[in-house]
C-alpha cells in the first residue's frame, strides 16, 4: 500500500512540475512576442543620431589646463537627454595648507526639465541646459557634424556659451568661458587629489 502511495505522489509531483514548466514557457513566449513601444530617437531624421558625446574643455586662455580640466558628457537614451560636467585639477590651498583639488560632478536631465535639444539643421544640434530652477541661467552647446560623412557621426566643431562656475552657486553667478579641446592630448594633474574621509 505504501509503495502504491509513493508512486501515486511521485506521479502527481511529476504532473505538477510538467504543468508549471508548460505555463512558464507559454508566459515567456507571450512576453517575448509583446510589442514594446520605445520613445523617439534623439533626432528628427535618420541622418543624425546622437547617443554619447564626450569631450574635454578648458577655461578660455588656459591652454595648459592649469585652472581646471572639464569633461562634458552628453548622453541620449531612448529619447531622453542628459548632460554631465566633471571638473578636476582646480587647484586651491585647502584648510590644511596643502594645494590640492577635489573632483566634482554636476548633472542636468531633461526628465526634470533641465535639458532641451533642438536640431537646427541637418548636421547641427543645439543643446540648452538650465543651471538654475524655473529654467533660469541657460547655457548652450552647439554641435556641428561633418556633412560629408553620413550618417553624421564625426564632430566638426563644438561651441559652448552661457556656462557659469558651478562651485559659486547659489551665492554668486560667475560666467565661465569654456574652450573645447580639438585634438586628443595627455595631461598630468598640477596638484594632488584631496580624498576626504568620514571624519
pLDDT value, residue 69: 96
pTM as predicted? 0.73
What's residue 80's pLDDT?
Answer: 80
The tens digit of pLDDT for each residue in 123-180 reads 888 999 999 989 999 999 998 888 776 666 677 889 999 999 988 888 899 999 999 9
d(CA 79, CA 145): 19
Question: What are the structural domain ranges in the chain?
Answer: 52-180
The reported pLDDT for the residue numbered 75 is 86
Cβ-based neighbour number of residue 6 at 10 Å: 10
Could you read off the pLDDT of 72-118 as tens digits, one per residue?
998 887 778 899 999 999 999 988 889 999 999 999 998 889 999 88
Of 9, 31, 48, which is closest to residue 150 (Cα–Cα)? Answer: 48
Amino acid at each position: 500500500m505504501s509503495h502504491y502511495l509513493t508512486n501515486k505522489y511521485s506521479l502527481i509531483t511529476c504532473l505538477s512540475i510538467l504543468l508549471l514548466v508548460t505555463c512558464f514557457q507559454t508566459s515567456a513566449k507571450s512576453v517575448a512576442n509583446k510589442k514594446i513601444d520605445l520613445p523617439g530617437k534623439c533626432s528628427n531624421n535618420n541622418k543624425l543620431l546622437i547617443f554619447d558625446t564626450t569631450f574635454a574643455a578648458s577655461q578660455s586662455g588656459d591652454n595648459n589646463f592649469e585652472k581646471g580640466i572639464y569633461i562634458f558628457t552628453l548622453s541620449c537614451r531612448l529619447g531622453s537627454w542628459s548632460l554631465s560636467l566633471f571638473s578636476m585639477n582646480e587647484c586651491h590651498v585647502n584648510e590644511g595648507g596643502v594645494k590640492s583639488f577635489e573632483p566634482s560632478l554636476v548633472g542636468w536631465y531633461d526628465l526634470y526639465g533641465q535639458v532641451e535639444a533642438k536640431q537646427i539643421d541637418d548636421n547641427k544640434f543645439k543643446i540648452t541646459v538650465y543651471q538654475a530652477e524655473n529654467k533660469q541661467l541657460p547655457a548652450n552647446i552647439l554641435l556641428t557634424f561633418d556633412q560629408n560623412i553620413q550618417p553624421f557621426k564625426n564632430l566638426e566643431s563644438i561651441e559652448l556659451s552661457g556656462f557659469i562656475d558651478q562651485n559659486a552657486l547659489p551665492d554668486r553667478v560667475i560666467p565661465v568661458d569654456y574652450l573645447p579641446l580639438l585634438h586628443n592630448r595627455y595631461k598630468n594633474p598640477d596638484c594632488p587629489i584631496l580624498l576626504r574621509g568620514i571624519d
